[in-house]
């Protein structure tokens, strides 16, 4: 089977071998429902408790603060909608570059009388201090600012933002899905009220996520029923996926510093090669994830480039995998003030634990040849 070099780790990561090994018994002989009182159920409950402790340890939280969900999108919705359901309608403030699974539920709150305030970012994709202050002056009840952008990789100063939001009387949430496993993430040090995580971005299984929640924050559940997860997320637990999530967190936390340094070196090599091909690197002047490069070939369509790179043996993306069905230019880039024609040429390359120097070198060589071919075709069409 044709298997392109995988350079789309921000979309999802291949299952870590240690995670697969840990999950296998829970897909076979250990099949109990964690709510059952017999031995099979007790084994499942113990496995969930152990996984919860591992997830909590990876992010400096207490196990009782971890609420398992089916994915990061559900966790984001649980905070935004769950918190809003128990508060008098007011202002919910979100950054202008939030993932759709924060932005869309926030917009849905308008039906319940809420006002959505988008916080502007600068040309690098960082929260603009002046607009941040203006947003806080509106006394928002809820604030959500992502820790790391899934497209540009830009990092926000979450700890400082959370402290100021708290002082203004707001509950502060951060989507840390992209930060987990790529940087050290500490729930307590960040000082947030809630934080979203996802398993499949760090080598865990699809179908497992978590909301880490300060116990002082009350939420209304999105899913009511059997009362699992402190009554905040009813439904029979996916034990295999939760076990895998715990091991993935354990693995990622153990190698985060060394991997961050290694990937940052590969990113620098990749960006130097792209600049040599006259590519525009987005957010190059801001602190970013060590594995993420978002660039544009001006005058060319990003989707076309991604398709050609895929056929040439390199799998990357034109933006967020979660909104790939949307043909519109990146919402993040437009919020940064990037012109629509330039944004349409955007391509994202994201590196991961299996990425080697040879992969980066091969990508740059292939990319250079493709650009030469496209430039030649453009020149011929202009002549005619």
CA dihedral sign, ordered 67, 179, 262, 152: positive
Pick left, alpha or beta for residue 330 (phi over 0 → left; psi -120 to 50 → alpha; otherwise beta).
beta
CA dihedral sign, ordered 61, 290, 70, 99: positive
Query: Reduced to 3 DSSP states, what percent helix, strand and coil does the chain have, rounded to the nearest 5?
Result: 45, 15, 40
Q: Which are the contacts of 294, defined by CB distance < 8 A and separation ≥ 6?
A: 151, 152, 153, 281, 282, 283, 346, 347, 348
Mean pLDDT of 324-346: 87
Q: What is the pLDDT of residue 159?
A: 98
pLDDT in tens, 7-66: 999 999 999 999 999 999 999 988 999 999 999 999 999 999 999 999 999 999 999 999
pLDDT in tens, 96-146: 999 999 999 999 999 999 999 999 999 999 999 999 999 999 999 999 999
Single out the residue of 359, 379, 373 nearest to residue 308, CA to CA: 373
Q: What's the rounded Cα separation, in Å, for the pair 251 and 54?
A: 10
Q: What's the rounded Cα separation, in Å, for the pair 305 and 308?
A: 5
pLDDT in tens, 269-300: 999 999 999 999 999 999 999 999 999 988 88
Q: What is the pTM of this model?
A: 0.94
Q: At what angle do helices 357-383 and 239-276 cross, to 10 degrees?
A: 60
- The ranges assigned to domains in the chain are 5-12+256-377
Q: Which are the contacts of 219, defined by CB distance < 8 A and separation ≥ 6?
A: 78, 79, 82, 83, 85, 86, 213, 232
Q: What's the rounded Cα separation, in Å, for the pair 204 and 216?
A: 29
pLDDT in tens, 188-221: 999 999 999 999 999 999 999 999 999 999 999 9
CATH topology of domain 5-12+256-377: 3.90.1150
Q: Is 71 among the residues known to form the active site?
A: no
* Percent of the residues in the chain that have a pLDDT greater than 90, as a whole number: 90
- In 3-state terms, what secondary structure has residue 363? helix
pLDDT band at 382 (very low <50, low <70, confident <90, very high): very low
- C-beta of residue 236 within 8 angstroms of C-beta of residue 68: no
CA dihedral 196→201→207→212, nearest 10 degrees, is -20
Q: What is the pLDDT of residue 267?
A: 98
Q: What's the rounded Cα separation, in Å, for the pair 296 and 271?
A: 12
């Amino acid at each position: 089977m044709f298997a392109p070099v995988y350079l789309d780790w921000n979309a999802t990561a291949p299952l870590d071998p240690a995670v697969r090994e840990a999950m296998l018994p829970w897909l076979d002989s250990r099949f109990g429902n964690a709510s059952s009182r017999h031995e099979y159920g007790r084994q499942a409950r113990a496995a969930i408790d152990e996984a919860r402790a591992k997830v909590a340890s990876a992010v400096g939280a207490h196990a009782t603060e971890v609420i398992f969900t089916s994915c990061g999108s559900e966790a984001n919705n649980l905070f935004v909608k769950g918190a809003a359901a128990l508060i008098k309608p007011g202002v919910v403030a979100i950054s202008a570059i939030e993932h759709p699974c924060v932005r869309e539920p926030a917009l849905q709150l308008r039906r319940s009388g809420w006002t959505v305030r988008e916080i502007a970012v600068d040309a690098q994709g960082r929260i603009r201090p002046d607009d941040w202050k203006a947003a806080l002056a509106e006394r928002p009840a809820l604030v959500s600012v992502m820790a790391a952008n899934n497209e540009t990789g830009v990092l926000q100063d979450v700890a400082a933002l959370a402290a100021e939001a708290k002082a203004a009387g707001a509950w502060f949430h951060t989507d840390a899905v992209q930060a987990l496993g790529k940087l050290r993430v500490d729930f307590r040090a960040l000082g947030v009220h809630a934080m979203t995580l996802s398993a499949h971005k760090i080598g865990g299984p699809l179908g497992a996520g978590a909301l880490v929640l300060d116990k002082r924050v009350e939420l209304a559940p999105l899913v009511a029923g059997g009362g699992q997860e402190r009554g905040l997320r009813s439904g029979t637990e996916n034990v295999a996926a939760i076990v895998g999530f715990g091991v993935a967190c354990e693995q990622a936390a153990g190698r985060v510093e060394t991997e961050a340094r290694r990937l940052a070196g590969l990113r620098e090599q990749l960006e130097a090669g792209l600049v040599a091909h006259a590519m525009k690197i987005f957010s190059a002047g801001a602190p970013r994830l060590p594995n993420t490069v978002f660039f544009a070939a001006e005058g060319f369509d990003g989707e076309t480039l991604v398709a050609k790179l895929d056929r040439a043996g390199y799998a990357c993306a034109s933006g967020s995998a979660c909104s790939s069905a949307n043909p519109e230019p990146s919402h993040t880039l437009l919020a940064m003030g990037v012109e629509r024609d330039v944004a349409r040429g955007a391509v994202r390359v994201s590196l991961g634990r299996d990425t080697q120097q040879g992969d980066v070198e091969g990508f740059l060589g292939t990319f250079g040849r493709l650009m030469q071919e496209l430039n030649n075709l453009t020149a011929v069409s202009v002549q005619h």
